[in-house]
């Protein structure tokens, strides 16, 4: 067997990722001769694995991409990027933006896009605690953090828990840089042949097209990994994070990623 015919693939259990990869990893589209060993993990774990070169193909936060460029290449398809999709900074009560730098902030992972966008907006904030994205909301509620950066499904649930939005970090990015927000991308090891990588990009795009044809049906694969979300939240997740940029980054998408890399370099040169 060709050593590249069986590949390790990592993505998160969030509905946007399971929606994207469902058909590709569960036999609804023809992927022959390729097959995939699938790992579903939170994005911070995937970021750490990517830094160690563990998987052939993996979802990452764009915030860690500048540290991976020599080891992994960015795929054209499968990622999350767009307008109005960014992380939110929330707290138990309304707090003026000028007070944020002195607060204890819960951040969903060190090498995440959420952390990069927060650092861009509040470069002087240094009381940060890094944790799983799913723990941030509770840290704010129980007072172990004064404020927190939320992503994924927490964007749709924080208000029902009495929490307040202090700033939309995605809006801040868009206003400052006038480009879409790169949240998470799919990367492939640079040791994989370019022709194989191009084929994988086409398979991911086909998997997305297949999923949209079935939508609004939610497959058992999406449901079983949805972490007890309501159907409304699952659909909101998919509608927000799976878009034309997921099928192909295109020129605008690549410009946004280049801008993020530049922003990362500027923040880390201080």
My answer on whether 126 and 244 are in the same domain is: no
My answer on whether 76 and 63 are in the same domain is: yes
**Binding residue per annotation — 181?**
no
State what percent of residues in the chain have pLDDT above 90.
84
Give me the mean pLDDT over the 183-200 stretch: 97
SS3 176: helix
Domain limits for position 154:
88-177
My answer on whether 185 and 115 are in the same domain is: no
My answer on whether 77 and 92 are in the same domain is: no
Flag whether pLDDT at 80 surpasses 60. yes
Q: Can you give the pLDDT at residue 267?
A: 86
Q: Can you give the pLDDT at residue 72?
A: 98
Q: Can you give the pLDDT at residue 123?
A: 94
Helices (H) and strands (E) in the chain, counts: 10, 11
**Binding residue per annotation — 59?**
yes
Q: What total number of domains does the chain contain? A: 2
Q: Can you give the pLDDT at residue 156?
A: 84
**Nearest residue to 34 (alpha-carbon basis) of 241, 201, 257:** 201
- What pLDDT digit, counting tens, does each position of 196-253 carry? 999 999 999 999 999 999 999 999 999 999 877 889 989 988 998 999 999 999 999 9
**Binding residue per annotation — 114?**
yes
My answer on whether 172 and 103 are in the same domain is: yes
- What pLDDT digit, counting tens, does each position of 142-176 carry? 999 999 999 888 888 899 999 999 999 999 999 99
My answer on whether 24 and 158 are in the same domain is: no
pTM above 0.75, yes or no: yes
CATH (domain of 95) = 3.40.190.10
My answer on whether 92 and 121 are in the same domain is: yes
My answer on whether 147 and 255 are in the same domain is: no
Distance separating alpha carbons of residues 85 and 131, to the nearest angstrom: 21
254 is catalytic: no
Which residue among 115, 152, 164, 225 is the active-site one? 152
Whether 1 maps to a domain, the answer reads: no
Distance separating alpha carbons of residues 29 and 204, to the nearest angstrom: 10
Flag whether pLDDT at 107 surpasses 80. yes
- What pLDDT digit, counting tens, does each position of 119-148 carry? 999 999 999 999 998 899 999 999 999 999
My answer on whether 195 and 154 are in the same domain is: no
Q: Which of 158, 177, 196 is the last residue in one of the domains?
A: 177
């Amino acid at each position: 067997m060709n050593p590249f015919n069986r590949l390790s693939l990592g993505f998160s259990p969030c509905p946007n990722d399971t929606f994207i990869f469902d058909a590709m990893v569960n036999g609804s589209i023809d992927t022959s001769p390729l097959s995939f060993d699938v790992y579903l993990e939170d994005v911070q774990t995937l970021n750490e694995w990517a830094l160690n070169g563990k998987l052939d193909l993996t979802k990452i936060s764009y915030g860690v991409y500048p540290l991976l460029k020599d080891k992994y290449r960015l795929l054209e398809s499968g990622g999350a990027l767009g307008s109005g999709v960014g992380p939110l900074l929330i707290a138990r009560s309304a707090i003026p933006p000028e007070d944020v730098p002195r607060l204890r902030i819960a951040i969903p992972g060190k090498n995440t896009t959420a952390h990069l966008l927060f650092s861009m907006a509040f470069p002087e904030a240094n009381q940060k605690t890094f944790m799983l994205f799913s723990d941030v909301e509770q840290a704010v509620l129980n007072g172990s953090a004064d404020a927190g950066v939320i992503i994924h499904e927490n964007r749709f649930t924080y208000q029902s828990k009495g929490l307040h939005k202090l700033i939309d970090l995605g809006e801040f990015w868009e206003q400052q840089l006038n480009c879409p927000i790169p949240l998470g991308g799919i990367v492939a090891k640079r040791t994989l042949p370019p022709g194989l990588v191009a084929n994988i990009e086409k398979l991911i795009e086909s998997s997305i097209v297949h999923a949209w044809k079935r939508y609004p049906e939610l497959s058992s694969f999406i449901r079983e990994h949805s972490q007890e979300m309501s159907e409304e939240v699952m659909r909101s997740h998919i509608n927000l994070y799976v878009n034309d940029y997921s099928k192909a980054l295109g020129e605008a998408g690549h410009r946004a990623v280049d801008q993020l890399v530049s922003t990362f370099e500027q923040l880390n040169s201080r």
